[in-house]
Amino acid sequence: MRQPGRWHIRAILAALFIGGMIAGCGQSDDASSSEDGKLEVVATTGMIADAVKNIAGETVSIHGLMGPGVDPHLYKATKGDIDRLNSADIIFYNGLNLEAKMAEIFRQMGSSKTTVPIGDVIPDSLRRHPAQFEGHPDPHIWFDVSLWETAVQQVAMTLIDRDSARMDLYCQNASAYLDSLDALHQWVKEQIAQIPENQRVLVTAHDAFGYFGRAYGVEVEGLQGISTVTEAGLYDVTHMIDLLVERKIKAVFVESSVPRKSIEAVVEGCRSRGHEIVIGGELFSDAMGQAGTPEGTYLGMVRHNVNAIVKALK
Amino acid sequence: MTPDIWVMITGILAASALGLIGSFLVLRQNGMLGDAISHAVLPGLVLAFLITSSRNVVPMVIGAGLFGLLTAYLTELLSQTRRVYSDAAMGIVFTLLFAVGVIMVALFAEQVDLDQECVLYGEIAYTPWNTFVVGGTNLGPRAVWILGSVLLANLGFILLFYKQLKISSFDPQMAVAVGISEKKWHYLLMTMVSLTVVSAFESVGAILVVAMLIIPGATAYLLTSRLHTMLLLSVGIGIICAVGGFMGASYFDASIAGFMAVVGGIVFALVFAGTLIAKRIHQTRYTSERQHIAETISG
């Protein structure tokens, strides 16, 4: 049980804090950089924050808004996030409507600080457009590693632009990071090649892997659409079961930021029709793993996904 | 002005506008209307998207506004048949509209992120940066303008038609007897509620709207039985929620809208407990007095 005395301390701290906040309102506002002269950088997704860390290292202070397991559509900013956004020198975001209404705010903030939608550099011809609606591209660009490289270059360019004194360092780090992304791209291709061609079907809960499928020759079947508001319909589930039974697919996958219920219904359905199917593991889709684990970095996340897919479908 | 001050002003404007109009919902036992509208606007959003093929805020708000009105009107039509109670009527109307919306998304727009969360609900935390710029001059946050106008409209509506609203809310039969159309005032009130709710959704998001539409009015209702006192109290309570919630969110680094709603819940609980205790004290005093009198008489 909590000691009663601690509440008093908290209350006093709160009062002091509020007092300080009101008194300090005028000054905190226009402090654009932290005291040690580091650029303050905020990134929306973990993948972008990871790219900034790799390129700038300790020379900037980087904060990622959406933590592990967070569905970007459901992300809610805290008061601290707002302060960090307000004091940031550079804000990187994915763009292509991943951040929904928040992107509008970033556009407006662009008049007073550098805000960069890194996905915007991807040429229109390389974006995946849903069949019915032009102009509303799929935002999950990070699962095609070569496409992500384009976006990462945009991060590097922006950093160099804002902090030209460290140009050499940024260039060096960026080219090293891009090399490792190149290697990763090749590695993914090799890994996927190990799966028999007719088995290259990736079944997940929502369509986050469209770019992955296109880049590495994997058929992607999502149970529900891009949006996470509609749940999988009965028709979707039966249709999916038919496909799995017919093609004798060995595994389906769940995602870290989407509930696993509907995909479990598919597994049950296949089983009742005599086709044994397993859940091939959890894939990271919209968010990375816990910080400090290998999956907490972009490279580790992609490797984890590919290993899980290859192991289950081979 | 600093962003923090703007957020607090936005919260105060939202809470006051919603608290005022929501007090009438509390009196008419229509408290869940805000929640119902939050679901029922989905088909409006899909229609607006299909017509304009854009997810811009203007078509979205128009679509949502129309379906907000539709929810209130259909509920009233259905309950006026006197074959279902108004809460059941509301339950039927909003679930039906929401379900139609979900099916429309599945049929026509599955490949596009289209839901309230994505295209309609604002976030109070971002209001300082979502500014209104006319001819190159920055006129301050858009939400402050929108909610300020909504608050003025609500104030004007209530002040101008105070008598009609009061009689039709408290005593519909009396209203009819003195020639005030209960139906007409109900529809007008519901129109104001729908417009207030939808524009507040767009400015500050759903949690805050649903909470501030009810909690200030319901809390004020515990404290008074006079309408004008209730309205004033609801605004005061709304302001406490907005300022207290902002400070709490700052201290705990949490969601601002969430904390404002939580403070609303705490204020309600305190007032509720306070009125219970006051009643108990009153009763004990009363019984002990009676005992005393009884003892004096008998003995």
Record the tokens describing residue A225, joined without a space.
């659409």
Minimal-distance CA residue of chain B relative to A100: B118
Percentage of residues of chain A with pLDDT beyond 70: 82
Minimal-distance CA residue of chain A relative to B132: A108
Backbone angles phi, psi at A270, to 5 degrees: -65, -40
Owning domain of residue B22: 3-217
List all residues 6 or more positions away from B277 whose beta carbon is below 8 Å from its beta carbon. Answer: none
Q: What is the pLDDT of residue B1?
A: 65
Reported as a pLDDT band with limits 50, 70 and 90, residue A189 is very high
Q: What is the pLDDT of residue B189?
A: 93
* Chain A contact set for B111 (CB, 8 A): 130-133, 136, 138, 207, 225-226
Q: What is the pLDDT of residue B121?
A: 85
List all residues 6 or more positions away from A60 whose beta carbon is below 8 Å from its beta carbon. Answer: A38, A39, A40, A41, A52, A159, A163
Task: Answer whether B111 sits within 8 Å of A26, measured CB to CB.
Answer: no
Per 3-state DSSP, chain A is made up of helix, strand and coil in percentages (nearest 5) of 55, 15, 35
Q: What is the pLDDT of residues A124-164, one digit of tens each?
A: 889 988 766 667 788 999 999 999 999 999 999 999 999 98
Task: Answer whether A79 sits within 8 Å of B253, measured CB to CB.
Answer: yes
Q: What is the pLDDT of residues A58-108, one digit of tens each?
A: 999 999 999 887 878 778 888 888 889 989 999 999 999 888 778 888 988
Which contacts (CB < 8 Å, 24+ apart) does range A171-175 have? A173/A54, A173/A55, A173/A56, A173/A57, A174/A55
Task: Answer whether B112 sits within 8 Å of A133, measured CB to CB.
Answer: yes
Question: Token match 């095609």: residue?
Answer: A144
The answer to the question of residue B226 being in a domain is no
Minimal-distance CA residue of chain A relative to B4: A25
Mean pLDDT over the full length of chain B: 90
Q: What is the pLDDT of residue B58?
A: 87
**Distance (Å, rounded) from C-alpha A34 to C-alpha B290?**
71
Q: What is the pLDDT of residues B6-51, one digit of tens each?
A: 999 999 999 999 999 999 999 988 888 889 999 999 999 999 999 9
Amino acid at A189: K
In terms of average pLDDT, the best of A127-131, A170-174, B102-106 is A170-174
Q: What is the pLDDT of residue A152?
A: 95
Compare A1 and B187 and report the one with higher pLDDT.
Answer: B187
Q: What is the pLDDT of residue B3?
A: 84
CA-wise closest residue to B118 among A104, A257, A48:
A104
Other Cβ atoms less than 10 A from the Cβ of A147: the count is 21
> Reduced to 3 states, what is the DSSP secondary structure of residue B72?
helix
Task: Answer whether B123 sits within 8 Å of A102, measured CB to CB.
Answer: yes
In terms of average pLDDT, the best of A177-181, A241-245, B139-143 is A177-181
Q: What is the pLDDT of residue B162?
A: 95
Q: What is the pLDDT of residue A133?
A: 64
- Give yes or no for A172 touching B (CB within 8 A): no
* Chain A contact set for B39 (CB, 8 A): none
In this complex, the residue of B4, B117, B254 whose CB is nearest that of residue A73 is B117
* Chain B contact set for A138 (CB, 8 A): 111
Phi and psi based region of residue B235 (left: phi greater than 0; alpha: psi -120 to 50; beta: remaining): alpha
**Distance (Å, rounded) from C-alpha B165 to C-alpha A86?**
44
Q: What is the pLDDT of residue A8?
A: 46
Q: What is the pLDDT of residue A53?
A: 95
> Reduced to 3 states, what is the DSSP secondary structure of residue A207?
coil
Cβ atoms of A159 and A60 within 8 Å: the answer is yes
Cβ atoms of B260 and B215 within 8 Å: the answer is no
Q: Name which of A70-74, A179-183, B144-148, B216-220 the model is least confident about.
A: A70-74
Q: What is the pLDDT of residue B245?
A: 95
CA dihedral A21, A24, A27, A29 (to 10 degrees): 20
Beta-strand pair A278-283/A251-255: parallel
Q: Could you tell me the CA-to-CA distances from B9 to B110, B147, B264 in Å, in that order?
A: 38, 10, 17
* Chain B contact set for A13 (CB, 8 A): 251
In this complex, the residue of A13, A17, A105 whose CB is nearest that of residue B126 is A105
Q: What is the pLDDT of residue A230?
A: 57
Reported as a pLDDT band with limits 50, 70 and 90, residue B116 is confident
Q: What is the pLDDT of residues A24-44, one digit of tens each?
A: 443 333 334 455 678 999 999
Q: Name which of A157-171, A279-293, B150-164 the model is least confident about.
A: A279-293
Question: Token match 């597994």: residue?
Answer: A267
Q: What is the pLDDT of residue A130?
A: 72
- Give yes or no for A27 touching B (CB within 8 A): no
**Distance (Å, rounded) from C-alpha B44 to C-alpha A97?**
20
Q: What is the pLDDT of residue A37?
A: 76
Helix segments in chain A, DSSP class H: 4-28, 46-56, 79-87, 101-109, 145-162, 167-193, 210-216, 234-247, 261-272, 298-313
Rg of chain A over Cα atoms, rounded to whole angstroms, equals: 22
**What count of CB pairs under 8 Å joins A to B?**
120
Rg of chain B over Cα atoms, rounded to whole angstroms, equals: 22
Reported as a pLDDT band with limits 50, 70 and 90, residue A225 is low
Q: Could you tell me the CA-to-CA distances from B221 to A199, B211, B232 in Å, in that order?
A: 65, 15, 11
Cβ atoms of B257 and B205 within 8 Å: the answer is yes
Task: Answer whether B131 sits within 8 Å of A77, measured CB to CB.
Answer: no
Does the pLDDT at position A9 exceed 50? Answer: no
Q: What is the pLDDT of residues B223-257, one digit of tens each?
A: 999 999 999 999 999 999 999 999 999 999 999 99
As a CATH number, domain A23-187 is: 3.40.50.1980
**Distance (Å, rounded) from C-alpha A159 to C-alpha A60?**
10
Percentage of residues of chain B with pLDDT beyond 90: 60
User: What's the average model confidence in pLDDT over B97-107?
Assistant: 89
Q: Name which of A100-109, B74-83, B111-120, B125-134 the model is least confident about.
A: B111-120
Mutate to test the interface with B, among A229, A237, A258 (most CBs of B within 10 A): A229
Task: Answer whether B53 sits within 8 Å of A133, measured CB to CB.
Answer: yes
Does the pTM of the predicted model rise above 0.90?
A: no
Domain tally, chain B: 1
Does the pLDDT at position A281 exceed 70? Answer: yes
**Distance (Å, rounded) from C-alpha B8 to C-alpha A253?**
44
Q: What is the pLDDT of residue A231?
A: 60
The answer to the question of residue B67 being in a domain is yes
What ranges make up the beta strands (E) of chain B? Answer: 131-134, 137-141
Interface of A with B in 187-216 (CB under 8 A): 207
Mutate to test the interface with A, among B57, B251, B252 (most CBs of A within 10 A): B251
Mean pLDDT over the full length of chain A: 83
Reported as a pLDDT band with limits 50, 70 and 90, residue A236 is confident
**Distance (Å, rounded) from C-alpha A115 to C-alpha A113?**
6
- Give yes or no for A176 touching B (CB within 8 A): no
Q: What ipTM was estimated for this complex?
A: 0.70
The answer to the question of residue B8 being in a domain is yes
Reported as a pLDDT band with limits 50, 70 and 90, residue A260 is confident
CATH number at residue B185: 1.10.3470.10
Mutate to test the interface with B, among A136, A211, A228, A231 (most CBs of B within 10 A): A136
As to burial, measured by CB atoms within 10 angstroms (0-12 exposed, 13-18 middle, 19+ buried), residue B173 is exposed
Q: Could you tell me the CA-to-CA distances from A236 to A14, A44, A206, A233, A299 in Å, in that order?
A: 51, 32, 12, 5, 32
Task: Answer whether B112 sits within 8 Å of A28, measured CB to CB.
Answer: no
Task: Answer whether B250 sits within 8 Å of A18, measured CB to CB.
Answer: yes
* Chain B contact set for A224 (CB, 8 A): 110
* Chain B contact set for A73 (CB, 8 A): 113, 115, 117-118
Q: What is the pLDDT of residue B299?
A: 66
So where are chain A's domains? 23-187, 192-313
CA-wise closest residue to B115 among B92, B93, B98, B95:
B98
Compare A7 and B10 and report the one with higher pLDDT.
Answer: B10
Task: Answer whether B256 sits within 8 Å of A82, measured CB to CB.
Answer: yes
**Distance (Å, rounded) from C-alpha A82 to C-alpha B43?**
32
Q: What is the pLDDT of residues B269-285, one digit of tens each?
A: 999 999 999 988 888 88
User: Which residues does residue A60 pair with via DSSP β-bridges, in sequence order?
Assistant: A39
Q: What is the pLDDT of residue A103?
A: 87
What is the topology classification, in CATH, of domain A192-313? Rossmann fold (3.40.50)
Backbone angles phi, psi at A38, to 5 degrees: -75, 145
Which contacts (CB < 8 Å, 24+ apart) does range A130-133 have? A130/A226, A130/B111, A130/B112, A131/B111, A132/B108, A132/B109, A132/B111, A133/B53, A133/B109, A133/B111, A133/B112
